Structure 1
Amino acid sequence: MSTAPGQTEDTLASYNRKRDFTQTAEPKGRVTSGGGHRFVVQKHAARRLHYDFRLELDGVLLSWAVARGPSLDPADKRLAVRTEDHPVAYADFEGTIPQGNYGAGTVMLWDRGTWSPDGDPHEAIKNGRLRFTLHGERMRGAWLLIRMKGSKRENWLLRKLEDDEANRDSDLTQSHTSSITTGRSLEQIAAGERTSTRRSSNLAASRPMPLEHRAEPPIPVSLRDDKPADEVRAEHAQPVVQATKRARARAAERAMISHGVRITSPDRQPYPQAKVSKRDLVAYYEQVSVVMLPHISGRPLTLIRCPRGVDARCFVQQHAAPGFPEAVRTVSITEASGETQNHIYVEDLAGILACVQIGALEFHGWGARAGALEVPDRLVLDLDPDPAVAFGAVVDAALFIRDRLLEDGLSSWPMLSGGKGVHVIVPLTGATWPAVSAYAKQLAQAMEKQAPERFTAEMAKTDRSGRIFIDYLRNQRGATAVMPYSTRAKASASIAMPLDWDRLGQTTSAQAYTVHDVLEKGLPEVAEQASAPQRLPRSSPGGE
Structure 2
Amino acid sequence: MTPITEVEGRRLALSNLDKVIHPATGTTKGEILHYYATAAACLLPHLQGRPLSFLRYPDGPDGQLFFTKNPPPGTPAWVRTVPVPRTEDKGTRQVVVEDLASLMWAANLVVEFHTPQWRADAPAEADRLVLDLDPGAPATVVECCHVAVWLRERLAADGLEAYAKTSGAKGLHLYAALEPAPSERVSAYAKKLAVEAEAELAGLVVHRMTKALRPGKVFVDHSQNAAAKTTAAPYTLRARREPVVSTPVTWDEVEACGHPSQLAFRIEDLAPRLQRYGDLLAPLLDPDRAGVLP
Determine if the alignment matches structure 1 residue 500 to structure 2 residue 250.
Answer: yes
Aligned counterpart for 1:286 among listed residues 24, 37, 51: 37
User: Aligned equivalents of 2:68 and 2:140: distance in 1?
Assistant: 32
- Greater mean deviation of Cα atoms: 429-438 or 454-463: 429-438
- Whichever residue aligns with residue 344 of structure 1, its letter is V
- Whichever residue aligns with residue 270 of structure 2, its letter is V
TM-score, structure 1 as length reference: 0.50
The answer to whether the 8 Å contact 1:327/1:346 transfers is no
User: Aligned equivalents of 1:257 and 1:438: distance in 2?
Assistant: 46
User: Aligned equivalents of 1:340 and 1:462: distance in 2?
Assistant: 39
- In structure 2, runs of 5+ residues without a counterpart are 284-288
- Alignment-derived partner of residue 268 in structure 1: 19
| Total equivalences in the alignment | 284
1:189-200 equivalences in 2 (<5 Å): none
The answer to whether the 8 Å contact 2:135/2:218 transfers is yes
- Whichever residue aligns with residue 159 of structure 2, its letter is G
User: Aligned equivalents of 2:40 and 2:202: distance in 1?
Assistant: 40
| TM-fit CA distance, 1:294 | 1.4
- Alignment-derived partner of residue 540 in structure 1: none
Aligned counterpart for 1:407 among listed residues 157, 177, 196: 157
- Alignment-derived partner of residue 286 in structure 2: none
Change (3 A) 1:435 1:342: same
| TM-fit CA distance, 1:297 | 1.5
Q: Please report the RMSD computed on the Cα atoms of aligned residues, expressed in angstroms.
A: 1.9
- Whichever residue aligns with residue 497 of structure 1, its letter is T
Q: Tell me the secondary structure at the aligned position of residue 367 of structure 1.
A: coil
User: Aligned equivalents of 2:84 and 2:30: distance in 1?
Assistant: 34
- Whichever residue aligns with residue 65 of structure 2, its letter is C
Determine if the alignment matches structure 1 residue 458 to structure 2 residue 208.
Answer: yes
- Whichever residue aligns with residue 85 of structure 2, its letter is T
User: Aligned equivalents of 2:39 and 2:5: distance in 1?
Assistant: 19
Change (3 A) 1:378 1:296: same
The answer to whether the 8 Å contact 2:140/2:260 transfers is no
- Residue deviations 1:349-370, cap 9 Å, x none? 211111111221x111010111
- Residue deviations 1:454-483, cap 9 Å, x none? 111101111112211000000011210010
User: Aligned equivalents of 1:320 and 1:329: distance in 2?
Assistant: 10
Change (3 A) 1:369 1:449: same
Aligned counterpart for 2:231 among listed residues 476, 481, 487: 481
Change (3 A) 1:447 1:311: same
Q: Percent identity?
A: 31
- Whichever residue aligns with residue 51 of structure 2, its letter is P
- Residue deviations 1:296-342, cap 9 Å, x none? 12211111111222221111111124411335321112213363311
User: Aligned equivalents of 1:514 and 1:304: distance in 2?
Assistant: 18
Determine if the alignment matches structure 1 residue 297 to structure 2 residue 48.
Answer: yes
- Whichever residue aligns with residue 529 of structure 1, its letter is L
TM-score, structure 2 as length reference: 0.90
User: Aligned equivalents of 2:168 and 2:160: distance in 1?
Assistant: 25
User: Aligned equivalents of 1:307 and 1:468: distance in 2?
Assistant: 31
Aligned counterpart for 2:281 among listed residues 508, 529, 544: 529
- Alignment-derived partner of residue 90 in structure 2: 339
- Alignment-derived partner of residue 186 in structure 2: 436
- Residue deviations 1:489-526, cap 9 Å, x none? 1111000001221122344437611112235x453633
The answer to whether the 8 Å contact 1:394/1:421 transfers is yes
The answer to whether the 8 Å contact 2:116/2:229 transfers is yes
- Alignment-derived partner of residue 467 in structure 1: 217
**Per chain length, whose mean CA-contact separation is higher, i.e. which structure has more relative contact order (CA < 8 Å, sep 6+)?**
2
User: Aligned equivalents of 1:321 and 1:370: distance in 2?
Assistant: 18
The answer to whether the 8 Å contact 1:276/1:516 transfers is no
- Whichever residue aligns with residue 265 of structure 2, its letter is Y
- Alignment-derived partner of residue 308 in structure 1: 59
User: Aligned equivalents of 1:387 and 1:255: distance in 2?
Assistant: 45
User: Aligned equivalents of 2:220 and 2:41: distance in 1?
Assistant: 30
Q: Which structure is larger by alpha-carbon Rg, 1 or 2?
A: 1
User: Aligned equivalents of 2:137 and 2:150: distance in 1?
Assistant: 20
- Greater mean deviation of Cα atoms: 253-262 or 526-535: 253-262
Q: Tell me the secondary structure at the aligned position of residue 394 of structure 1.
A: helix
User: Aligned equivalents of 1:524 and 1:384: distance in 2?
Assistant: 29
- Whichever residue aligns with residue 340 of structure 1, its letter is G
User: Aligned equivalents of 2:93 and 2:209: distance in 1?
Assistant: 29
